[in-house]
Structure formats: C-alpha cells, structure tokens
Amino acid sequence: SKAPVRVAVTGAAGQIGYSLLFRIASGEMLGKDQPVILQLLDLPQAQKAVKGVMMELDDCAFPLLAGMVATDDPNVAFKDADYCLLVGARPRGPGMERADLLTANGAIFTVQGKAIAENASENVKVLVVGNPCNTNAYIARAAAIKVGRTNPANYHGMLRLDHNRALTQLAQKSGRSVSSLKKMVVWGNHSPSMYADYRFCTSNGDSIKDLINDHAWNNDVFLPTVGKRGAAIIEARGLSSAASAANAAIDHMRDWALGSDDWVTMGVPSDGSYGIPEGVVFGFPCECKNGEFKIIQGLEIDEYSKGKIANTLKELEEERAAVADMLK
C-alpha cells in the first residue's frame, strides 16, 4: 500500500473546512488508495472547534486517514506538506474597504507563503481558496519565492467553482448533460469580473456556442449569473457557498494530482501566455497529466473576449498594486 501524503488545510474550523476535510479523508481528492495525514491550521480561538471536527473525523473511521494534527502555528501545519489548501482568510467586516481587506489578507498570506516555502515538501502543490484568492495566491507565491525551495508555478488560486457553475448553466440552457461538456474555460479573477468563455465548449462533438446561438443570453444572462452566483447563494442561504466551494477545491487538486482528460480552469501564475503579465494569478484553461499542469496554448481570442479578459486583468492589476508595498 502507498505511503501517506500530508495535506495541510487552513481555516479548518470554518464552513468550507467542514465540507472539505471529510471528502479528503475519504479519498475523493487523491484517490481511494492514497492514505492521508491531515494537518489542520486555524486561529487560536478556533482550536476547540477544530478538535470537534477531528472528533467527527475519528468517528467516520476512514480507512485512508492515517493521522491528524491541529495547530495555530503555520510552521507546524505546513511541515512536510505535499498539498496545502489555504481556505482560512480574513472576511470583509462591516465598513471594511477593499484595500483594507487586501492588506489584512496580505499579512496572512505573506506569513503562510513563507512558512510553506520553509517547511513543506519541495514539490508542494498549493491552492488558495480564501478570498481574494487570486491575489492571496500571488502574495503567498511572492513570499515563497523569497525563500526558494518550492516551485513558484505551484501556487494556485481557485477558479474551479466558477468553471463548475458555468458548466451547469450551459447544460441547462443547451439541454445537454453536464458530463458531456468539454473545453470550458473561465479567464481571470475569481470575482464578478471573471470571463466564463464557452466558445470552445463542445458536447459530444457539437459546438455549445452554435447550439445556444444567443449572444444576448451570453452577455446579459449567462455571464452575470455565473459572476454573481456567490452573492445569490448568500442571499438565499444566509451563508456563503461552502459545499460547492469545497467540491471545487477537491476537483482542482484531484485533477492536478491525478490528471484530467478535459480542460480544467485553474488560477495559475501567468507565464506570459495570452499577454497576461508574468506572475499574475489568472484563470486559464489547463490540462493536467502526471501531477503537472500546462496552460492550453494558441486559442483564438476575438474582440469581445479581448475586452472581457482585459477587464478582469485590470482588476487583478489593481489588486496587485494595492499589495505591492507589502511584498518589498
């Protein structure tokens, strides 16, 4: 049988943690033959709640759960970690400006990026879920680069929830099954500015764009529905998306680790592809194989798409400018 791998999860006492940890421990993320050790980070005041979650994990008697650690120290949480899911973040409080949110999170993610680079496995794969997730991933990566050791390409932000939201909207509109849809992509920031692009999307070889053939629906219904889905969930549930966010994190990590036969949207540090400045953590279409990901190259970007991509990039550039001083 395989040796256990170490999976660090931050914000372990939160809502997403409560959906995520049980699925990781049951083997849905890394495979039904891969034992895992969970290394759970949360704030000091949340340690009691983390203990409660660990009691429930114990009570599942998961065959693949080879150990658990709870801590409020990032150096302990990330020690020898093979996978890090950074879920915990500073939520936007009443009267908090966007810039305050960016700097509050900047402080968290500089510490965590450094702690990962100093303590984790050299091949660690990092996924930031906590918002603003693209810029938080950018910050963690920048802090990690100062340390060295880990691979700067392996600091990702989560766009997969947007990708999955888009797939279901398209399936419902086209009458095709979600499982038949291939080659979806969401460009840019995990925010309402993201550009869910189904120009390349197919269902059993048929073009979804041709099947739907409705530009007004794309612009006036589809994009706003996907972009504002998080707000719609809060409005309906009184709480932000949690199970679907945990599901997307599982999907992202599973495909990255085990491979995928379809395109998947990942927020990855740009290598300059499609004119996105190097290092900006941006939603791109990717393929995954043997534990590696690659940005799909050579897709045609039409005028409408150019405008959408420029718009979401502009927002990310503004976020990057707002945290630049912290990364000096």
Sequence-separated (6 or more) residues with CB below 8 Å from residue 221:
none
Tokens of 190: 């995990």
Contact 184, 170 (CB under 8 A): yes
Q: With contacts defined by CB under 6 A, name the span among 60-68, 241-249, 252-260, 276-284 that binds ligand NAX.
A: 241-249
Per CB under 6 A, contacts with ligand NAX among 18-77 are: 41-43, 46
Q: Does 242 contact ligand NAX by CB under 6 A?
A: yes
Q: With contacts defined by CB under 6 A, name the span among 52-60, 174-182, 199-207, 236-244 that binds ligand NAX.
A: 236-244
Can you tell me which of 241, 247, 265, 312 binds ligand NAX, judged by CB under 6 A? 241
Smaller CB separation from ligand NAX, 13 or 36: 13
Smaller CB separation from ligand NAX, 93 or 205: 93
Contact 305, 319 (CB under 8 A): no
Q: How many residues bind ligand NAX (CB under 6 A)?
A: 29
Q: Does 89 contact ligand NAX by CB under 6 A?
A: yes
- Residues 167, 172: Cα–Cα separation, whole Å: 9
Q: What is the DSSP letter of 195?
A: E
190 in catalytic set: yes
Closest to 141 measured CA to CA, from 117, 123, 158? 117
The residue sitting closest to ligand NAX, measured at its beta carbon, is 14
Helix 47-60 to helix 15-25 angle, to the nearest 10 degrees? 30
Q: SS3 for 32?
A: coil
Please give the positions annotated as active site.
190
Residues of this chain that interact with ligand NAX (CB under 6 A) are 10-11, 13-17, 41-43, 46, 87-91, 108, 129-131, 133, 158, 161, 190, 230, 240-242, 245
